[in-house]
Amino acid sequence: MYASFDEIKSAINTGTKVEEIVNQYLSQINSKQRLNAFLEVFEASAIQNAKTIDQKLQNGTAGKLAGMVIGLKDNLAYKNHHVSASSKILEGFESIYTATAVQRLIDEDAIIIGRLNCDEFAMGSSNENSAFGPVHNPINEKMVPGGSSGGSAVAVAAGLCTASLGSDTGGSIRQPASFTGTIGYKPTYGMISRYGLLAYASSFDQIGPFTNTIKDTALLTEVMAGVDDFDSTVTQEEVNEIPLHSIEGRSLKIGYINECFEAIGLDPEIKQKMESTVANLRAKGHQVDPVSFPYLDQMVPTYYVLTTAEASSNLSRYTGVHYGTLAKDVKGVEETYKKSRTEGFGEEVKRRIMLGTFVLSHGYYDAYYTKGQKVRRVIQDKTNALLKDYDVLLLPTTPSTAFEIGGVKDAIAMYLQDIFTVQANLAGNPAISLPMGQHSNGLPFGIQLIGKTFEDSDLLSISDYMMTEFVST
């Protein structure tokens, strides 16, 4: 299949119709249904849109994404199509509008081919929490693909679409990218509008792409980014271009987070690859220094206190009355709410709602939520202080390669899967996972870079250089 948009454009230039390309993807999706990546394939609308784009290409009026086939994580609204956040509580719900990020892709003639499985309401690190069953890693189908955007990662890794969209609240794009050998990018918080994204934790959530090339990552981010009247937290600057500039002749200043390299749970082979990457960068003339970030142990607890509090608020609307499937045989408001939410939500979602409600409750608000916000500011300030001295921060994406489906049963152990990724969400910085190499167990793993706020172009340019010089070697 097509590994990049450049390959699709090349095929179109040699006479292949967009409709043929879509049909090739549909055939590939059909042959790999066992991966459980797609919850629904939008076959009819995808083919119809492909025919329209073929006509536009013939007329010379096609947009800059003409022929790119994209899958959507099942928490992004697409008008007249179902969206459920992989939850029973939204079963059968059809969106009446399209998310801003999705609309901007459609406006440039990208084709939306379907909605992709994910952890329910984006809550999970393995894609085992979906109401519609786990997603399987295409490299080893006994393994998880990571979460919560597991279906999005698998769709790109297995060649089921050219690129896909996910959402990243604490690593939900970067962690599955690491587990599947794809590129996963979380832009700066506020770079891309969240309008039309079913909220988990509003001050953390960010839409971003999965791709096989940095060029495609930059192009998709450029199209989706910029001011939007429907989202007051998005940048007020127009984003017309996210250029990739050459690093050739530039001496980079890179800080690698020492506490991450020395973390007890870090796989020895991943550590060895990180160390060899540092050595290779130095050999190329770049300044690479160890830096201290002494809040590693505080980040995951802070993240879960704050995100569950926001989730408790955001998910309060799903009552079976305002939104969501109404439970049968109920009497009165209280029973309606209780039964609808009990039947509609999965165990992990209920756990997080209860935890969030607790930390917001009278007598505990200051002890947990207020203190969590203070710690978040400390983490943000320290991250930005380090980035005043360095172009990017370097750290692993995940402590290990993908684990077996059902292999992590303890909730706390599962939460610790996010230990290296939550920093960028707490601080709001852009971050990316690049496919670093292959473990002796045959599974991929990623290297992570954190960049300066709203300097996404520089982070992607450095990432492109890293992919060319080191990751593929």
Residues classed as catalytic:
73, 148, 172
Tokens 């609309």 map to which residue? 103
Q: Are 169 and 307 in contact (CB under 8 A)?
A: yes
Rounded alpha-carbon distances, angstroms, from residue 184 to 149, 150, 213, 254, 448: 10, 11, 10, 20, 10
Q: Are 203 and 310 in contact (CB under 8 A)?
A: yes
Coil, strand, or helix at residue 269? helix
Q: Is 161 left (phi over 0), alpha (psi -120 to 50) or beta?
A: beta
Amino acid at 385: A
The CA dihedral of 437, 395, 374, 380, to the nearest 10 degrees, is: -110
At 133, list the tokens: 């069953």
Beta bridge partners of 112: 70
Tokens 């970067």 map to which residue? 174
List, edge to edge, every strand of the sheet that includes 183-186.
38-41, 111-116, 69-73, 163-167, 207-211, 183-186, 431-438, 444-450, 392-396, 253-257, 287-291
Sign of CA dihedral 39, 44, 47, 49: negative
Q: CA triplet 308, 309, 311: central angle to 5 degrees?
A: 60
Q: CA triplet 96, 98, 102: central angle to 5 degrees?
A: 160
Span between the terminal Cα atoms of the chain, in Å? 23
Residue 275: enclosing H or E segment and its boundaries?
helix 268-283
Q: Residue 146 CA to chain centroid, in angstroms? A: 10
At 141, list the tokens: 């189908």
Q: Are 121 and 198 in contact (CB under 8 A)?
A: yes
Dmax (CA) for the chain in angstroms is: 72
Look at residues 420, 426, 436 and name the one whose alpha carbon lies nearest to residue 256. Answer: 420
At 7, list the tokens: 């390959």
Q: How far apart are CA 82 and CA 364, in angstroms?
A: 38
* Length of the chain as a residue count: 473
